[in-house]
Structure 1
Amino acid sequence: MKLDQLRAFIAVVETGSFRSAADSIHKTQPGISAAVKALEEQYGILLFDRNSYRPTLTTEGHAFFQQSKKLMSQVLQLENLGHDLAQGTEAPLQLCLSQMALDDDCMSRIKAFQQRHTGIALDITTDHLYGVQDKLTKNKCEIAIGPRYGLDDRHAFIELNKITMIAVINPELLVTLNAGDTKIKQQSLYSIPQILVNDTTANASENGHRYVLPTGKRWYVNDFQAKKTLLIHGLGWARMPRHCIQSELKNGQLVPIEVENFTSQNQLPIFMIRLRHQTMSSQANIFWEMMKNFSNNTKNDL
């Protein structure tokens, strides 16, 4: 088995055809076919069902593809490390932070890490819901920090802290609901948009949101700042991290609401997450251990 053969096989799966695979990795179509055929002959299995218009993975092919992706991810890490070492530099530690997790606790931990390890550069991106774990699986970060969305036995994770999520609305908009001091009925909110933050994964507007009314208008935005702006101007209602709206709650621009048969407020655990199969860089190991030592709840390290 050669790496070029695996690259050809993966390219066919990801592009959907031998011709497109050849274009994507700058090989000839006969070369792609030969590479895949060599893998099949070496292990005595069929990777593709070629009876359909497009090559379709067999059961064996699907299993082989999953492991091939893991191996190529590790090869890419090794290649990048080799280039960095040859240049006498180490690549920045790539982190992906959930927008929900950007509270004082998380920021103080990262700041403390930077102050203690000034020689380690950080490359930080943000995402939401399943988009955070998606960055891990696509090798766009080594460590993620966020809620437990999409975690399974591929992940190792440790709880760092908890944030408070709370349903809020503009007080002038609340008056129009005639709710008084009682819980708001869900039907009263159907005509008012529930504002939700999208992640970057495919079909983000259809999946991932657990606390959504089954009926009613929904608006999707890209970040919590846009969400807060719409809320302040009375254009909808939403659940928000309390730490994002402390001043707005204090000055009365937003007020908490209790919705009938709905999780209007709860504590949401925030985790530090990595992939089990992935060998972490030295910088990532240092970061993981320091963040872990900050936590008072290391029993969740899985």
Structure 2
Amino acid sequence: MKLSQLEMLVLLAETGSVQGVSERMHRTQAAISMALKNLEEDVGFPLFDRSGYRLNLSPQGRQFLRQAREVVKQQQRLHSLASQLQTGAEPQLRLTYDYTCAPSVLFAAIKQVQNSYPATELLLSGDSQLRALRRIREGEAELALCPWLPIFRQHGDFETVRVRPFELLVVCSPMLLEGLALNRLQRQDLLELPMLIPQDQDIGIDLDKIMRMPGQQRIRVNDSITQRELLLAGMGWGIIPSDLVGDALQRHALERIDIPGFMTHVNLEVHLVRSAERIAGPAEELIWRHFSGNALKGKRAL
């Protein structure tokens, strides 16, 4: 059997007539009928019920059609893959994000890549501390999402685009604040509660220094995801990136604590980062344009 015969069978099911297949494939009706007859001979059972006026599929034909559709779809995917590889689309695109940043900010851009370059495999992984930037520098990833400081340029020749502000919040579970009025909390109240703090953010921030009166009871964890889970469990209060607790704040699983003068302001931004020494492929460039275009719109709005 030939692929063109399977395509005719699929089109016959879609159009309902040999004439419809003939018009779609730009071949004569006689040629279509002969090809379908040869397909029946190849498979060894009747594909069509010819007892009526119209050419209808037999029960075996309907079952065969389901598999024929899959074969035709796979052939179309192979054509798409070949075309994209010919034009230089990356077979694989590696993205990494710092654990302090919510990867969901990448999803809209990733969806664009899926639609435009379905043959490009996407690898998304999380890293702690400065490892995301190191992976870019070492050629182990093409794009990184992470908090950005100008000092990071000493780690490599990077190109960056602003994605969003990086905001640190003081939060706590309502269960830990039982008996305390949120709007009347004082520094001393927090001193008496356990403090959850990452061991080392390694993003140019020393949380011990920006806290003007840190709690005496401490639980140190090795990443912000674990810190968030401990916060939700009521194990203590802590400073955590807003991206990681936005949904919890909305449903009041966590409460934001605002005490004037309690925390030194930190001015950081989340950036998308790539190597300035490497030529970007089209899938990577699509993600980059997604954020650089948004950044340009933001500047115009100002």
State the TM-score, normalizing by the size of structure 2.
Answer: 0.55
CA contact (8 A) 2:129 2:202 kept: no
CA contact (8 A) 1:96 1:126 kept: yes
Equivalences for 1:9-28 in 2 at 5 Å? none
Provide the residue aligned with 2:59 in structure 1: none
* Residue 209 (str. 1) matches residue 181 (str. 2): no
3-state SS of 2:119 partner? coil
- Structure 1 gaps of 5+ residues are 1-84, 199-203
Provide the residue aligned with 2:186 in structure 1: 184
Provide the residue aligned with 1:158 in structure 2: 161
Provide the residue aligned with 1:263 in structure 2: 263
**Greater Cα offset, 231-240 or 256-265:** 256-265
Pick from 159, 163, 173 the counterpart of residue 176 of structure 2: 173
The amino acid that maps onto 2:159 is A
CA contact (8 A) 2:130 2:202 kept: no
The alpha-carbon deviation at position 297 of structure 1 amounts to 5.1
Classify 1:268/1:109 alpha carbon distance in 2 versus 1 (closer, same or farther; 3 Å).
Answer: farther
3-state SS of 1:152 partner? helix
The amino acid that maps onto 1:209 is I
For residues 56-94 of structure 1, what are the alpha-carbon distances to aligned partners after superposition, in whole Å with 9 as ceiling and x for unaligned?
xxxxxxxxxxxxxxxxxxxxxxxxxxxxx9xx9955111
CA contact (8 A) 2:90 2:282 kept: no
The amino acid that maps onto 1:155 is F
3-state SS of 2:296 partner? coil
> Hey, which of these two has a bigger chunk of helix by percent?
2
* Residue 292 (str. 1) matches residue 297 (str. 2): no
Classify 1:267/1:180 alpha carbon distance in 2 versus 1 (closer, same or farther; 3 Å).
Answer: same
Q: After the TM superposition, list the runs of 4 or more consecutive aligned residues in structure 1 that deviate by more than 4 angstroms.
A: 88-91, 205-208, 264-268
The alpha-carbon deviation at position 281 of structure 1 amounts to 4.4
Q: Identical aligned pairs, as a percentage? A: 19
The alpha-carbon deviation at position 265 of structure 1 amounts to 8.0
Distance, in Å, in 2 between the alignment partners of 1:115 and 1:89 is 13
Q: Computing the radius of gyration over CA atoms, which structure comes out larger, 1 or 2?
A: 2
3-state SS of 2:148 partner? coil
The amino acid that maps onto 2:93 is L
Cα RMSD after superposing both structures: 3.6
CA contact (8 A) 2:162 2:291 kept: no
For residues 128-165 of structure 1, what are the alpha-carbon distances to aligned partners after superposition, in whole Å with 9 as ceiling and x for unaligned?
44232222223321211121145226322111223544
The alpha-carbon deviation at position 228 of structure 1 amounts to 2.1
In the comparison of the two structures, how many residue pairs are matched?
A: 206
- Structure 2 gaps of 5+ residues are 1-84
3-state SS of 1:107 partner? helix
Distance, in Å, in 1 between the alignment partners of 2:242 and 2:203 is 23
Provide the residue aligned with 1:253 in structure 2: 253
Provide the residue aligned with 2:75 in structure 1: none
CA contact (8 A) 2:117 2:283 kept: no
Provide the residue aligned with 2:196 in structure 1: 195
